[in-house]
Amino acid sequence: MKKASHVQGSPTTGLLIGLALTLTAVLVFGYYMREQFAGLRRLQSDMVDRNRKDSLQLLRVQNDLNSVALAMRDMLDSREPYGLTAWTAEFQRMREDLDAALRIEDKFATARRTPEQRQFLNQSLRGFWDAVDRMFALAASGKEAEAREQIRVTLQAREAALSTAVSRLLVQNNEGEEEAAAQIAKIYDRVQRQLYVFLSAALLVIVATSLYLIRSNRRLFARIETLSEQRSDLAQKLIATQEATLRHISRELHDEFGQVLTAIGSLVGRAGDAVPKDSRLHEDLQEVREIAQSTLNNIRTLSQALHPVLLEEGGLASTLDWYVPTVERQTGLKIHYEKTGLPFAVESGAGVHVYRVLQEALNNVSRHAGAKEAWIRVKFLVGELVLEIEDRGKGITENKGQHGIGMVAMRERAEILGGTLEIGQPEEHGTRVRLRVPREKLETHGE
């Protein structure tokens, strides 16, 4: 005897874990990507963009310093018709532009700028303008030669130092842009690698979840298949038990009750012969004899309906020939019975199942279809037996209500016979039940 197999748990827990892992990985990676792109935006805005704006202001400062250098060169030219004081307004304009450029540049100065660099630039520029003021003061007091000497000795040197300092800052900004570009490239490379890692991990989780789902489904389907086989075995055993019980009841009715009623009828008949025919007792005995005979006929009909002995004596074709008009009388249905082909021998055990399918189908027509007519076609073909029961009623559905058990029983009987049962709807509406059984199954069933 087989032991009950272990009940396989639902794969829902495993699938939920896989889904949770996948969602967690997606969320973590999404957060990581958001931080990386935020870092890129900060790097671009805080370093690259600010660095470029700072470089533009430094170029403006450098351009102003070049203008100052050109002005001082012209001031030293002896052919210049105007005195040095004539350049006061020009220098004032360049000073204001330089101051404005440096104020703007200070806002965009990068974090790489050291306090010493800021202090040096500011002090150098302040010292330069102080020297310019002293030079114009000398020129205003009529000391043109001393003013020009100060330009050659002091101002040009200070301007050159300022230009050099601004150039170093521009070079530093260019280096900062190159470093920022390198950092951006590293971030992109790191994000790309992490993306590949995430995709690989996500793929592994999906594959693992899919394999788990496939494995669980295989177990579930195997379990369902086992349960289906067990259900089919149980149904077949129930059908076999039912047939054995009906056969026993049929024989008991036919043998025991039939003999008793036959004996009662015989005794009543002999008693009736012993009394005068015109007496009241004779009439009563005759009525009892008729009741006994009617009951005997009903019992024989019921016995045949429970288990047609005719199957064993005359075969399936003869049993169907007897059963169809019997049902027609009992139910009031008008049955169109058609039998084609050359009947072949059908083993009695297989014949019982064919008979029960017909019996159940006609019961459905009589009780549920609401039809007044039915069509029965029995086809003895070369390789198979085809039984069709058709009506023009309201139709039946396999999975609804009271038809379910009967349909299951018919399908189980078809499976026992190794055949197929088809339930459909003809063009004229109603229901058609078609049983197909291979001939070899009918001839060898039960052997």
Phi, psi of 340, deg, nearest 5: -125, 160
Is 284 part of any domain?
A: no
Q: What is the pLDDT of residue 4?
A: 43
| Rounded CA separation 184/27 (Å) | 24
Q: Residue 93: what pLDDT?
A: 92
276 is a domain residue: no
- 3-class secondary structure for 224-270? HHHHHHHHHHHHHHHHHHHHHHHHHHHHHHHHHHHHHHHHHHHHHHH
For residues 365 and 363, give the distance between their C-alpha atoms in angstroms, rounded to a whole number. Answer: 5
Domain range holding 411? 308-444
Residue where one domain finishes, among candidates 193, 213, 233: 213
Q: Helix, strand, or coil here: 10?
A: coil
Asked whether residue 30 falls in the same domain as residue 176, the answer is yes
Provide mean pLDDT across the span 435-441.
Answer: 91
Residue 413: enclosing H or E segment and its boundaries? helix 403-416
DSSP of 394-406, one letter per residue? S---TTSTTHHHH
**Domain for residue 1, yes or no?**
no
Q: Which two tokens stand for residue 220?
A: 């579930």
Q: Which of 172, 188, 213 is the last residue of a domain?
A: 213
**Do both 64 and 190 map to the same domain?**
yes
For residue 223, being part of any structural domain is answered with no
Span 282-341, pLDDT tens digits: 777 778 878 877 787 777 677 666 667 777 778 888 888 888 998 888 888 899 999 998
> pLDDT at position 381, please?
92
Q: Work out the pLDDT band at 398, boundaries 50, 70, 90.
A: very low
- Domain shared by 191 and 317, yes or no: no
In a domain? residue 265: no
Q: Render pLDDT for 215-242 as a digit per residue (tens, 0 to 9).
A: 878 888 888 888 777 776 776 677 777 6
Count how many domains the chain has: 2
Q: What is the CATH number of the domain that holds 347?
A: 3.30.565.10
Residue 375 in any domain: the answer is yes
- Is there a single domain that holds both residue 197 and residue 318? no
For residue 166 the two structure tokens come to: 């601004």
Same domain, 188 and 337: no
pTM: 0.49
Residue 243 has pLDDT above 60, yes or no: yes
Strand order in the sheet with 384-391: 334-341, 373-380, 384-391, 431-438, 420-424
- Is the CB of residue 377 less than 8 Å from the CB of residue 338? yes
Q: Is residue 300 part of a domain?
A: no
Question: Which of 213, 238, 259 marks a domain boundary?
Answer: 213
Residue 142: pLDDT over 80: yes
Asked if the structure places residue 153 within a domain, the reply is: yes
Same domain, 159 and 21: yes
Give me the sign of the Cα torsion angle 101, 107, 113, 114. positive
